[in-house]
Structure 1
Amino acid sequence: MAGGGFARLLDGSVVVALSLAAPPADGSAPGARVRVLVHAANRARALTRLRNLGLRSVYLRGNTEPPTPDEITAVLHHPDGMVWRSIPDDDTESWHPLASLLRDRPADAV
């Protein structure tokens, strides 16, 4: 993992931001990276939400790349509280639901 971080909100909840390798679309080697945002009650719960979706080796070490105010707004306004966007940041690209990133993964990629 290249970087990640978190921001504690006024209500005590947190937004966790992680930079991860994108899952390969056609069995090829992953090269692209994505920025994943998760809103949860605490950091441990945010990582558990990702692990429950099949991202078993997701860890947050340090706070080197905390979410920006725009990223926090994006994840708070999404009904699932989990979104992603490819890196490098393209201001014209919108945030996507995390389920769309994981939808087409092969079963043995977990």
Structure 2
Amino acid sequence: MGAGGGYTRQPDGSVVVALWLPGPHGGERGPVRVLVRAANRARALTRLRNLGLRAVYLRGNAAPPTPDEVTAVLHHPDGLLWRPAPAAEWHLWRPIAALLRPPPPHAAVT
């Protein structure tokens, strides 16, 4: 999974990493923006890999997190969020578990 993104270092030494990723489940949910807070970039990527996003990597710093994104991830207890991309104003940040669960089955029309 190639990833465009970037990171920013916080005053306490931690980092916030932001990545653009194709959506799970064959991309049927479209691309997503993922935010991760961790002690360093390597640990941020390890957190994502441990969730099953195995081929995640960060090259460069072309799309670092915006101040609003940093605020969102710093105020979330897990420090791991996502939302659809490109994000409309009404798309809220969601916990990563909501991204990783399988999509609901399509209801059969009778």
Task: Report TM bin, short chain.
Answer: 0.7 to 0.9
> What CA distance in whole angstroms lies between the structure 2 residues aligned with 1:40 and 1:84?
15
Secondary structure of the corresponding residue to residue 15 of structure 1: strand
Are 1:30 and 2:27 an aligned pair? Answer: yes
Q: Aligned-pair distance for 1:85?
A: 0.6
Structure 2 gaps, min length 5: 104-110
Give the paired residue count. Answer: 101
Letter aligned with residue 6 of structure 1: Y
Q: Where does 1:1-110 land on structure 2 (aligned, <5 Å)?
A: 1-24=2-25, 29-30=26-27, 32-104=30-102
Structure 1 gaps, min length 5: 106-110
The structure with more radius of gyration? 2
Q: Aligned-pair distance for 1:30?
A: 1.7
TM-score for the superposition, normalised by structure 1? 0.87
- Worse-matched range after superposition: 33-42 or 2-11: 2-11
Q: Aligned-pair distance for 1:95?
A: 0.2
- Worse-matched range after superposition: 38-47 or 88-97: 88-97
- Worse-matched range after superposition: 89-98 or 64-73: 89-98
Q: Where has structure 1 moved over 4 Å in runs of 4 or more? A: none
> What CA distance in whole angstroms lies between the structure 2 residues aligned with 1:76 and 1:2?
22
Secondary structure of the corresponding residue to residue 51 of structure 1: helix
> What CA distance in whole angstroms lies between the structure 2 residues aligned with 1:10 and 1:20?
27
> What CA distance in whole angstroms lies between the structure 1 residues aligned with 2:45 and 2:98?
18
* Percent identity for Structure 1 against Structure 2: 66
TM-score for the superposition, normalised by structure 2? 0.87
